[in-house]
Structure 1
C-alpha cells in the first residue's frame, strides 16, 4: 500500500472522484469485507454509549451531530437519532455506509474520507453542534491526526462538543491483523493524546478509560480512552 496521501472526495451517491488516497482505500476495502462482523466482534460498547449519552445530555433537542467514521451506524448514529438529533455520518467504506443507511434510515450518510472535510464549499457539510469520532482517528497516521482535529474544530459551532475515543497504544500506523484482514492503526498514550487534543484548541472536560475484551479470540484486549471535549474559541 502506498504511503502517499492525496486529496480525496466522493460524490453523495458513493462514487469516488479523482484523487483518492490509495492507502486509505485499502483500509476501506478491509472494512467493506468485514461488514456486520465488526459489530459481532465488538458487541458491547459501554464507553461509546456513555459518550453518546454525554452528548445527548449536553445538547438541546434537534442538535446537528456529525458521526465521523460512522461504520454501520450502530450504536452511535442510532442512539443520537433516537434522542432527536439530526445526524450526518461519514465513512470511507462503501459497505459500512450501505449498512448504516439500512440500520439508521433517519440519518444522512456520505461516503467520504474523514480527512479533508470542510463546512463550506461545494462538498461542505455545514457546521455541527457536536462531532463524535469513535475509534475512527486511529485509522490515520499520526502526521494527519492534528490536521483532522483542526478540521473538526472548524466544523463545530463556537462552544461545540467533541466526543473522541482511541485505543491506548504507542504506535504510528502500525500494521495489524484484524478480523481476517490487515489494517493499519495509530494510538497514543493517554497523556500524549490529551496534549494533541488540547493543541487543536479543545478543552478536555472529562476523561475515562475501559479495558475491553472483544468477543473473538484473534483481537486482543485493549484499553479504550474516551475524551469529552469542548471547542475553545
Structure 2
C-alpha cells in the first residue's frame, strides 16, 4: 500500500491528517491538572521500568502521547536512554520541556498519523516505543493503522509498551477534567487481536484498577501489553 493510500485509509484524503483540534485544545487547557488528577501511575512506571531493564543503555525510544513528560520520558532519560516525545498538545509539550532535561530528550508537536521513518519530517527508527493511553484518543478505525505505523518504526526485535483502558467504545465523547474529549477502547480479547494483527508478538500482559483522583468516576481497568516487533 502506498503512503498516500495509507493516509486515505486512515480517515482523510491523501496527504490530509484527521482533525485532532478539539482533542489538542482540551489537553492544552488541562495542562498540569492532568498530573494532579493522575498522581499514581503504578502501571505506567512499571512498564517503563521494564523497558529500562531490558533495552541496552543508550537506546532510542519514542514516547507517543508524551504529555507533560512525567513519568515516562523523565524515567527513560534518567536511565540514560534517548527519547523523542510526541504529542498533539503544545501546552503539554511546553510542560514536558520543563520537566525533562534536554540532553537526552526532544519533544515535537506531531500527530501519530504523520509518523514516518524517512523523508523530510522522518523520525528514524527506534529500539523501543511507549504508547501509554495515547491510542485511545483515536477512533477505532484508526488504531490498527497507527499500530502498523509504530511497528514500522521499530527496529527488528524492538519493543512496544502499550496501555489502553478496557472499554467497548468508539470515538465516544466523554467529560474529562472539565473538558470534553473523544475516546475509544476495546475489550481485552479484541485488543490482543488488533495488536497481533499489526505484527506484534505479545510477551506479557498486566492489568491495573485505577480511579483518577478527585473526578468521582468509577475505577477503570488499565491493560498494559508488553510487545515485540514480530
TM-score when scaled to structure 2?
Answer: 0.92
Query: Could you tell me which residue of structure 1 aligns to residue 31 of structure 2?
Result: 35
Equivalent pair of 1:117/1:124 in contact (CA under 8 Å) = yes
Stretches of structure 1 that go unaligned for 5 or more consecutive residues are 9-18
Query: Could you tell me which residue of structure 1 aligns to residue 140 of structure 2?
Result: 142
Q: Does 1:92 align with 2:88?
A: yes
C-alpha distance in structure 2 between counterparts of 1:120 and 1:148, whole Å: 16
From 185, 191, 198, the counterpart of 1:193: 191
Q: Report the 3-state secondary structure (helix = DSSP H, G, I; strand = E; otherwise coil) of the residue aligned with 1:147.
A: helix
Query: Could you tell me which residue of structure 2 aligns to residue 166 of structure 1?
Result: 164
C-alpha distance in structure 2 between counterparts of 1:217 and 1:135, whole Å: 18
Q: Does 1:46 align with 2:42?
A: yes
Q: Report the 3-state secondary structure (helix = DSSP H, G, I; strand = E; otherwise coil) of the residue aligned with 1:115.
A: helix
Matches within 5 A, 1:1-233: 5=12, 19=16, 21-22=18-19, 24-106=20-102, 107-232=105-230
Q: Which has the higher helix share?
A: 2
C-alpha RMSD over aligned residues: 1.3
TM-score when scaled to structure 1?
Answer: 0.91
C-alpha distance in structure 2 between counterparts of 1:20 and 1:31, whole Å: 19
Equivalent pair of 2:26/2:180 in contact (CA under 8 Å) = yes
Structure 1 residue runs of 4+, over 6 Å off? none
Stretches of structure 2 that go unaligned for 5 or more consecutive residues are 1-10
C-alpha distance in structure 2 between counterparts of 1:231 and 1:131, whole Å: 10
Q: Report the 3-state secondary structure (helix = DSSP H, G, I; strand = E; otherwise coil) of the residue aligned with 1:30.
A: helix
Q: Report the 3-state secondary structure (helix = DSSP H, G, I; strand = E; otherwise coil) of the residue aligned with 1:72.
A: coil
1:5 is displaced (CA, Å) by 3.8
C-alpha distance in structure 1 between counterparts of 2:217 and 2:111, whole Å: 25
Cα pair distance change 1:136/1:7, threshold 3 Å:
farther
Q: Report the 3-state secondary structure (helix = DSSP H, G, I; strand = E; otherwise coil) of the residue aligned with 1:143.
A: helix
C-alpha distance in structure 1 between counterparts of 2:150 and 2:215, whole Å: 34
C-alpha distance in structure 2 between counterparts of 1:203 and 1:84, whole Å: 26
Cα pair distance change 1:58/1:143, threshold 3 Å:
same
Q: Report the 3-state secondary structure (helix = DSSP H, G, I; strand = E; otherwise coil) of the residue aligned with 2:150.
A: helix
Q: Report the 3-state secondary structure (helix = DSSP H, G, I; strand = E; otherwise coil) of the residue aligned with 1:144.
A: helix
**1:172-210: per-residue Cα shift (whole Å, max 9, x none)?**
011100000000000111111000000011000000101
